[in-house]
Structure 1
Amino acid sequence: MCDAPATATGAEVFNGFKGKRKLWELTSKLLCPVIGTCLTTSEIRKLAQKVVDKEQARKSDYWLHTWVVSNCDSKHHLSLTVQKHLDKKFAAAIKRFGLLKCRDELKQLWQQHIDRGASAEALWALLTHPLCDLAMQDMAYETIHMLSHQIGAGQRADLKRLHEAEKELVELRKALDKSQQKAHQTISNKECQLDTLQRQVAELKADNLRLKEHNQRLELGGDSSALAPQLQQLRNELASTSSSVEILDRQKVQWQQKLRQSEENILDLTQKLRQREQETRALEGFVKQSLSPCNGCSADSCRDCPDLKGQKILCVGGMHRMTDQYRELVSRCNGEFSHHDGGVEDRSKRLDALLWSADAVICASDCISHDAYYRLKRFCKQHNKRHLFIPSSGISSFAKAMDDVANGVSCISL
């Protein structure tokens, strides 16, 4: 049931604002969260440059924020410019909120926007709505105030995760450099040894050929009985030389195999480093977005935050303690999150139901049962469902997968 706007407070609010509220009609208490949440620092600088001059626009972020808040409590050029900018920026949200005619529906729509991280557009659309009374204003103020604390805590967690990922990346690069240097040194040594062996083989083959020719000359010569000891000696030398040639050939094959193994190890380490760099870049994008001054921008207007466009993301497997962080990343990217533990406690029938409802599936292959793994793979292949397998349950691997889903990268199978 919608609450009727016939009460004294409701009628007063409705009659006082037959149309949308203006920025300068808001209380001074609300101006600070509105400016801080609905405008980015870069937008404030552009507005300052447009309204005043470039010198003002080069001042500190805090000074610009305070300047806009203190100068938007009355109707003049700056407040009119900010009003026009916010109406244009959040036109879609204003239209959605404007269709509602009772406060219960207004509160419900507000909560829906807050749940999916669209706090900026919801705040402006709610506070400028004719039915927004003092109680709803206080509700919006308290929600935005607490969100600022939660975002600060999330930023600290993101920074810690980024620091750990960068540290791991540095160590991996050092290990790769060390392995490459060792491999190059080994390859260089083996090449020198191979050259030496090849020269020895060539010399032995030449000696072998010379001995055969000499043997033939002796057999075609005169008294073979007088030459018999010399002939036997030459035959013994020929057998010894042939044996040495065979040993050197086997050593050559062994060194060639070791050389190929070294090259394969270098290629494997290079691929792992490239994967870690991609995961770190994805995680840096999330951290950069969480540190953005807009504090809850919509994904359509943020270049650093991948936009899932409301897709339902199913995470199968992974460590249970990471589930809340997975959920936070999906929510931040304008998506809906669901989780199945990969057969540890959740039943397989529940996995089938979740797979049907998901738009894309991310599977942490290091923490999942064999049955759930093959069930997921078979289902996604039969029904052409987008799915990605990530090698580990770490937050950086999941962040990279989120970036791939948002960018439409083809499915990856292990």
Structure 2
Amino acid sequence: MSGAGARRVVQEACDCAIRMPGQPAPALPGLAAFMASAPPPAKAALPPAPAVPRRRRIWDLDGTFHCSIIGTCLSSDELRRLLRKLDLAPADATDHDLHGRGVGLAGRDDHRGKLLNKALDDRHAAPIHRFSAARDVEALRALWREALEAGDIPGAYWAVLTHPALDRVLMREAFGAVHMLSHLVGAANRADIRRLVAQDRELAEQRETIDRQRARLQELVEERTAAQEALAAQRLAQVAAPAPSPPPVAELQRRLEAAEQRAAALEERRAEAEAAALRAEDRAAAAEASAEAALARVAEAEASLALLAPETAALAAEAAALPGTVLYVGGRAHQVPALREGAARLGVALLHHDGGLEANGSQLPGLIGRAELVVFPVDCVSHEAALAVKRLCRAAGRPFRPLRSSGVTSFLAALAQPDGAVAPG
């Protein structure tokens, strides 16, 4: 390139040169060479961002948990709506078919699996927000046990399994609690479903009655309107005619009054029927809510039954080292069969003493000697019986554990906890 060309390039590249009227911009001979030889500016290295623990996605969890999550944390209707969006819900598919498809999606890290994970997050946003306050596993365990005691299982189960602070011990505890609770809810569901069906039938009959009465009322209104129009036309004709005819007018007036009386009576009957229908709708809504809760418990039971498959037996056995014989002191007599059945499902033999209400207190030492663990509910045992249990357990070297309530949930949770027993001291 010639010297003039180089000067022209430099002048065109430098916009900050001062230009005088009628004079060319001053040339900078060394600028072009400097710019050509200068290395490109180095980019400043940014420090790596600190790793922030995130919640687990459903595909991050072991496949053993997918069945219980789908069955417990999503209702059948919610799962069906989601699978319809994905064209995976045929019209003839049963709830069990849809449950299997949902479990299959749970292990996929793709668009469909992400939609399933988002549906669970949206459905249980409130429990997830509440559990996010836990900064360590102990705080997380406290929130989980509080939700378990209150019966708020689905959202808490999803929130605790996906929490970053979850460890394997708490994972087994949550899994075992959901597994055991599912066995206790099946028998109560049939009566709820029958009651809901009866309420739906009654509501349908009330609605049919209201529809018939509304149709009849509409006919009477039309008859009255026609009579009024005819009466108005007759009166106009009478005004125009030189000699009015009273008999037709009187007849129309009589028909109008009769129609108005029938309409008033039917309106009163309609109001009574609508009030009865509203009461029936309230009963049906209450029954439907009860049935939805029952169906949710059925879904939890079905999911937990699926967890008894051979490939999950090892994890269920690993959930806790259970005692062979447990003595239950106190409690309510009508709850003893359920306690005994729940213990039997875990392979535990249950001994019971009512704390001295009817049974002889002298039997306590012998029963404590036979038991590997002694439990008693603090809300349903006398102070004297509780003190006697502690004293006899310390003397016999038997572990004991006070329960927060006399419910089956507290009892099973105590058995499922690895550290459930309190050593005598």
**Normalised by the shorter chain, which TM-score bucket?**
0.3 to 0.5
Query: Which structure dedicates a bigger proportion of its chain to helix?
Result: 1
TM-score by length of 1: 0.38
Structure possessing the higher radius of gyration over alpha carbons: 2
TM-score by length of 2: 0.37
